[in-house]
């Protein structure tokens, strides 16, 4: 590991732990970030702000103005998760999950990158048969994040018996996310699978036309189109088919959860939500897991790996990102597992013990 290559950086990180397991997993990610800071000589200015249900309890809003403005003035944002049964009865616009949509649209985070890869030492944790995953799984879901049905108009008829959710995409929105997917594919296995439902949806027909047009700028990248129902099936039948999976907002939300399960656990998958200039919000793909919160059993690795994505994508600190990923790999190779990953022959360790183990593994690499 080269700890002297990059010049020391001073970065401001807005941290939004959120609800449920959010604070527990974020605590471990900060532990790891503090070790990286010391080892590589950077200065990370970390400030914590409320978001989600806890923010609603505090000030009646799931995305307080102070939180949003702190995110705007930070160099990057680290988010835990929001939501929980306590706030399920709130009206739509007050719900904790609405804060996520607010952060994405207010910070212009249109590109959601969700890498789903199987760690060699976790092959046994995948629910798929060995012969299906023998060549490994290494998929990057590139999901459009600020358009589509989640951001369209939502309405109910006067008698409340008919509901509508509008799914709209503009050429501009499709073009900019398609470019991100092709750029990513260039530095990977040069294959983009664009997911749509063009046999039924007009927005998908536009999606397909624009993706075709963008692909002409990337002749070295192979493009194929797949209906979303087929993509859902192929992910469990033959995941090795995929390199970059380009999707609109809702299809990507669903397919990336499926992709996470085939890699072993939803507790392993990080994500980056990016703006055109590289600014990003980083978070695990899972939710606030209220069923296990406060028990010190949640897997913090997705959040720790989200920090690695932050260091690489927004701060351009690839040695530091590699150090975290290598430390995670070493910890897994040593047989350490949180409860979501355990096999019958391994006793699980807790959330904080997993964070300690990754932090120690980084320190061990530089000794």
What does the DSSP assignment read for 228-286? HHHHHHHHHH-GGG-SEEEE-HHHHHHHHHHHHHHTS-GGG-EEEEE-TTS-EEEEESS
55 contacts ligand NAD (rule: CB under 6 A): no
Q: Which of 118, 266, 269, 309 binds ligand NAD (CB under 6 A)?
A: 266
Q: Which of 55, 272, 292, 317 binds ligand NAD (CB under 6 A)?
A: 292
259 contacts ligand NAD (rule: CB under 6 A): no
239 contacts ligand NAD (rule: CB under 6 A): no
62 contacts ligand NAD (rule: CB under 6 A): no
Burial class (CB in 10 A: 0-12, 13-18, 19+), 4: exposed
- CA 112-316-214 angle, 5° bins: 45
What are the structure tokens assigned to 335, written together?
């047989």
User: How many Cβ atoms sit within 10 Å of the Cβ of residue 159?
Assistant: 6
Q: Indicate if 196 belongs to the active site.
A: no
Q: Which of 229, 291, 363, 366 binds ligand NAD (CB under 6 A)?
A: 291
Q: Indicate if 356 belongs to the active site.
A: no
Q: Which of 64, 84, 148, 280 binds ligand NAD (CB under 6 A)?
A: 84
286 contacts ligand NAD (rule: CB under 6 A): yes
Q: Indicate if 257 belongs to the active site.
A: yes
Q: With respect to ligand NAD, which residue has the nearer C-beta, 108 or 227?
A: 108
> Which span (78-86, 161-169, 244-252, 317-325) binds ligand NAD, by CB under 6 A?
78-86
Report the side by side order of strands in the sheet with 280-284: 43-48, 10-18, 76-81, 280-284, 270-274, 111-117, 138-144, 244-247, 191-196, 222-227
355 contacts ligand NAD (rule: CB under 6 A): no
What are the structure tokens assigned to 74, written together?
């930070």
Spatial separation of the C-alpha atoms in residues 58 and 305, rounded to whole Å: 30
Listed residue (114, 146, 122) closest to 258, CA to CA = 114
The catalytically annotated residue of 150, 169, 218, 282 is: 150
24 contacts ligand NAD (rule: CB under 6 A): no
171 contacts ligand NAD (rule: CB under 6 A): no
Catalogue the active-site residues: 150, 197, 229, 253, 257
Which residues bind to ligand NAD, rule: CB under 6 A?
21, 25, 81-84, 97, 100, 266-267, 283, 286-292, 298-299, 302, 340
């Amino acid at each position: 590991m080269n700890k002297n290559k990059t010049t020391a950086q001073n970065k401001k990180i807005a941290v939004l732990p959120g609800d449920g397991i959010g604070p527990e997993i974020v605590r471990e990610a900060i532990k790891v970030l503090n070790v990286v800071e010391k080892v590589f000589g950077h200065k990370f200015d970390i400030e914590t702000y409320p978001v989600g249900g806890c923010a609603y309890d505090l000030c009646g809003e799931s995305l307080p103005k102070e939180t949003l403005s702190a995110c705007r003035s930070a160099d990057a944002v680290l988010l835990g998760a929001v939501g929980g049964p306590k706030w399920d009865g709130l009206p739509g616009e007050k719900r904790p999950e609405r804060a996520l949509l607010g952060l994405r649209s207010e910070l212009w985070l249109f590109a959601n990158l969700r890498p789903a890869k199987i760690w060699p030492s976790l092959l046994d944790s995948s629910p798929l048969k060995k012969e299906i995953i023998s060549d490994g799984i290494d998929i990057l879901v590139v999901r459009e994040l600020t358009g589509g049905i989640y951001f369209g108009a939502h309405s109910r008829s006067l008698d409340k018996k008919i509901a509508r959710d509008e799914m709209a995409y503009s050429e501009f929105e499709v073009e900019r996310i398609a470019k991100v997917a092709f750029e990513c594919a260039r530095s990977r296995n040069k294959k983009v699978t664009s997911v749509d439902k063009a046999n039924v949806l007009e927005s998908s027909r536009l999606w397909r036309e624009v993706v075709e047009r963008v692909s002409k700028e990337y002749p070295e990248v192979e493009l194929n189109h797949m209906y979303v129902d087929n993509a859902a099936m192929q992910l469990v039948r033959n995941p090795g088919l995929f390199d970059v999976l380009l999707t609109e907002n809702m299809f990507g939300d669903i397919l990336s959860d499926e992709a996470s399960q085939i890699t072993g656990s939803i507790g392993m998958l990080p994500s980056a939500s990016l703006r055109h200039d590289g600014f990003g919000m980083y978070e695990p793909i899972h939710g606030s897991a209220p069923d296990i919160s406060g028990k010190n059993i949640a897997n913090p690795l997705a959040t720790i790996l989200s920090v690695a994505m932050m260091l690489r994508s927004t701060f351009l600190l690839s040695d530091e990102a590699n150090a975290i990923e290598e430390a995670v790999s070493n910890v897994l190779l040593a047989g350490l597992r949180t409860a979501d990953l355990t096999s019958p022959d391994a006793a699980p360790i807790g959330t904080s013990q997993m964070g300690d183990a990754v932090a120690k593994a980084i320190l061990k690499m530089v000794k």
